[in-house]
Amino acid sequence: MVQIRDTCDTYGAWVHVDGAFGLLGRILPSSSTDNRSDSPFTLGHPLHDSYSSIAIGCGGMELADSITGDSHKLLNVPYDCGFFFSRDLAIATQVFQNAGAAYLGGSFTEPDTITSPLHIGIENSRRFRALPVYATLVAHGRYGIEEMLRRQVKLVRKIAEYIRSNSFYELLPHDRHIGEHFIVVLFRLSTPRWNEKLVEKINSYRKIYVSGTVWEGQPACRIAISNHAVDVDADYELVKSLLEEVPLQLKQESLGLP
Ligand SMILES: *Cc1c(COP(=O)(O)O)cnc(C)c1O
């Protein structure tokens, strides 16, 4: 990021960061010893409770000119709440400032203490999207949200560890350590000919929903954790028993067994 910032400064380019998920990663502690004096959390399993790789991955975001982040993902507020931070309010105001139509009322005569969204975005009418975000931030606070994210990351890493230990599967990317996982587990079956059926098969149980992707030219599967109600042990057991069952089922089917 430092290098990108320097280059952009040299050529006059704007740096934008897409922090859809990564923005919230910034609330996790950057050191694995987590000795921040104000943190109420104590260190547990080192593989599950080290966030230094996430801190590095999300590092330098503050050097950007603008940052977007999604609150309908990890903050679990209704769809389509996003954050948009910009260093330059004046640019948005120049572009989107309303000309002052009479029906738009008083906001043109009274000086605004908070810039109205009416003058800095493309929409004139909008739902009060900020309200659920505000309520969530107030209700859970910094540590409530941190605690939720820790549970989510812990579940991801337990699932990743399980996949790595089960010889039917390959954990991807091959060089990613358990402690480097954030909220996605990427994997595939080690038997290529069953791999195309993996996503459909897992979803057919209707217990979890996974999405398919391609990794190094081969089909792969993705588990993404973002639910606020994650219960590490219970959810881990559910995912584990499903992932145990699926390859056995695919094997039976490939042998033509019922
Ligand atoms: C989800 C996502 C988006 C788009 O977000 P929506 O607001 O849900 O349309 C953009 N970038 C990344 C990396 C995302 O994960």
How far, in Å, is the centroid of ligand 1 from the Cα of 75? 13
Q: Which atom of ligand 1 is nearest to the CA of 82?
A: 7
pLDDT tens-place string over residues 14-24: 999 999 999 99
Q: Give, using CA atoms, the residue closest to atom 13 of ligand 1.
A: 20
Q: What is the pTM of this model?
A: 0.88
Count of helices and strands (H, E) across the chain? 8, 7
- The residue to mutate among 17, 18, 79, having the most atoms of ligand 1 within 8 angstroms of its beta carbon, is 18
Sheet with 16-18, strands from edge to edge, namely 16-18, 66-70, 82-86
Element (H, E) at 189: strand 184-189
Ligand 1 atom nearest 79 alpha carbon = 8
Query: How remote is the CA of residue 208 from the centroid of ligand 1, in Å?
Result: 21
Name residues contacting ligand 1 (CB within 6 A): 18, 20-21, 70, 82
pLDDT value at 155 more than 70 = yes
Q: What is the pLDDT of residues 60-112, one digit of tens each?
A: 999 999 999 999 999 999 988 999 999 998 998 899 888 777 777 555 556 66
Domains of the chain: 2-141 (3.40.640.10), 143-254 (3.90.1150.10)
**Distance (Å, rounded) from C-alpha 179 to C-alpha 32?**
10
Asked if the model's pLDDT at residue 236 lies above 90, the reply is: yes
Among 21, 70, 183, the mutation site with the greatest number of ligand 1 atoms within 8 A of its Cβ is 70
Element (H, E) at 235: helix 232-254
Give CA–CA dist 68/89, Å, rounded.
Answer: 15
Which residue's C-alpha comes closest to atom 11 of ligand 1? Answer: 20
183 pLDDT exceeds 90? Answer: yes
Provide the pLDDT for residue 164.
Answer: 97
Cα separation of 113 and 105, whole Å?
A: 16
